[in-house]
A and B are shown apart, each in its own frame.
Chain A
Amino acid sequence: MIQLKSMLNCIDNSGAAVVECVQVLKMKRAAKVGDRIVVVVQKQRNLAADLAGAAAAAQKVRRGDISHAVVVRTKKKYGRPDGSFVRFDDNACVLINKAGDPMGTRLNGAVAQELRGKQWSKILSLAPAFV
């Protein structure tokens, strides 16, 4: 259940660590896994000044940047067609550009399998594991 002001972990290497949801797109209710949201970067993973040149270039977003994102894990349990329910310990998202391609090149952490049926197979293929 991701809504306005929800804080999410960003699990890609785009440079954001914690982001805040400012808008749930195309819906008038809370976002769940696979839904597109607009976020503001609240915490950077590493400050660009501390990093070397190549690493600093990899940091695509900075604190205060606005970006689109896809929810990949929710703390709220969600049902599956086979009757099972899944919940994660945190809310997490992956930053994407307007076209829907992930900003980062790698993910750290499991994502929900529900991304498969919702055109997010690119994110699913980047993920190290899915539940």
Chain B
Amino acid sequence: MSTTAGASLRPLAQSLKALTLRPIQRRAVTDYASLRDNLPRKVGMFGQKKVFHSPQADEPRRHIKIHAPLPAPASKTPIESLTSLQLATLDPTGAKQKMFSRHNPDSVKVGDILQVRRKNGEQPFAGVVINIRRRGVDSAFLLRGQVTRIGVEVWFKLYSPLIEGIDLVQRTEKRKRRAKLFYLRKPEHDFGSVANIVGQYMRQRAILRGEGPKNGQQGQRGGKTGKKGGKKN
């Protein structure tokens, strides 16, 4: 700002006696060259602090109600604890968890043949496991089988209360090199019907449990016993 501007402002400032104009007036006559050395390096941070002073800053602070901290969560991993809580009701024996656990060397792997018995009176569905989805209570597995020579794939929720039991009918001969066996959908890799293998397994199990083949049908209804029978084979 030049001296002419300062001269024009001076009478106005005197008449108003405004405090706001005074720093400007003072600045107008400042020798910048000498001031530069005295000012802190960052003018924007320190030099202008008082000029842009908030009017409320000198007033006492408003009373802000400070709430007591919330009680600490029961565990540091709430989702995990919720999952274990839900599994305690959905899978009280832990048999299904163990059957699909990664840490269990005897767990179900892709390529195994499973049979799922349902509580709503539907036909049991059997097929090759082509995908396992491990997501806590939402865990599921994809079975591929055939019904009247038509390929059918069904996702089952592992912990669904509508599932009466899961039988491990046959293990895969060799460990599959893939986690998801979608190639089984191709005609050249299709496993075909598993009805023969399942039928053989059912007959064998009926003999092992000392039941006639006709009583074997009744024996299937026992949920947990059926599952254990599946694991032995």
B149 at the interface (CB under 8 A from A): yes
Does A88 lie within 8 Å of B151, measured CB to CB?
Answer: yes
Within 8 Å by CB of B150, from A77, A85, A110, A113, lies A110
B154 pairs with A84, CB closer than 8 A: yes
Q: Answer whether residue B157 sits at the interface, using C-beta atoms and an 8 A cutoff.
A: yes
> Once bound together, how far apart are the Cα atoms of A89 and B185, in whole Å?
8
Task: Tell me, rounded to whole Å, the shortest Cβ–Cβ distance linking A13 to chain B.
Answer: 15
Give the size category of B's interface with A. Answer: 10 to 19
Q: Would B157 and A131 count as touching, CB distance under 8 A? A: no
B196 interface hit (Cβ, 8 Å): no
Q: Which residues of B lie under 8 Å from residue A113 when comparing CB positions?
A: 122
CB-CB nearest in chain B for A113: B122
CA of A128 to CA of B123 in the docked complex: distance in angstroms? Answer: 13
Interchain Cβ contacts within 8 Å, total number? 51
Complex Cα spacing A88 to B148, Å:
12
The verdict on B32 contacting chain A, using a C-beta distance below 8 Å, is: no
Most A-side CB within 10 Å, residue of B123, B125, B150, B155: B150
Cβ-based interface call for B162 (8 A): yes
Query: Does A82 contact B162, Cβ atoms closer than 8 Å?
Result: yes
The total of chain A residues at the interface (CB under 8 A) is 19
Q: Considering residues A84, A87, A90, A129, which has the most beta carbons from chain B within 10 angstroms of its beta carbon? A: A84
- Per-residue contact bits, chain B 138-171, to A (CB 8 Å; 1 contact, 0 not): 0010000001111111111100101000000000
Contact B150–A88 (Cβ < 8 Å): yes
For window 91-131 of A, CB contacts with B under 8 Å fall at: 92, 108-110, 113, 128-129, 131
Q: Is the CB of B150 within 8 A of A84?
A: no
Closest to B162 in A: A82
Q: When the two chains form their complex, are residues B150 and A109 in contact, meaning their CB atoms are under 8 A apart?
A: yes
Chain B residues, Cβ within 8 Å of A83: 140, 155, 157, 160
Q: Which residue of A lies closest to B157 (CB)?
A: A83
Residue A86 interfacial (CB < 8 Å)? yes
Q: A129, B153: Cβ atoms under 8 Å?
A: no
Interface string of B40-70 (1 = CB under 8 A from A): 0000000000000000000000000000000
List chain A residues, Cβ under 8 A from B160: 82-84
* Residue A73 at the chain B interface, CB threshold 8 Å: yes
Contacting pair A89 B148 (CB below 8 A): no
Least CB distance, A10 to chain B, in whole angstroms: 14
Q: Chain A's nearest CB lies how many Å from the CB of B163?
A: 9
Interface string of A42-84 (1 = CB under 8 A from B): 0000000000000000000000000000000100010000111
Query: CA A30 – CA B153 in complex, angstroms?
Result: 21
Interchain CA distance A1-B171 in the complex, whole Å: 35
B157 A86 Cβ-Cβ under 8 A: no
- Other-chain residue from A77, A85, A86, A129 in contact with B148 (beta carbon distance below 8 A): A129
Give, as a whole number of angstroms, the nearest-CB distance from B97 to chain A: 18
Residue in B123, B147, B151, B185 with the greatest tally of chain A CB atoms within 10 Å: B147
16 contacts between A and B (CB under 8 A): A77-B155, A83-B140, A83-B155, A83-B160, A85-B154, A85-B155, A86-B153, A89-B150, A89-B151, A92-B150, A109-B148, A109-B149, A110-B150, A129-B148, A131-B152, A131-B154
The 3 closest A-B pairs by CB, nearest first: A89-B151, A85-B155, A110-B147
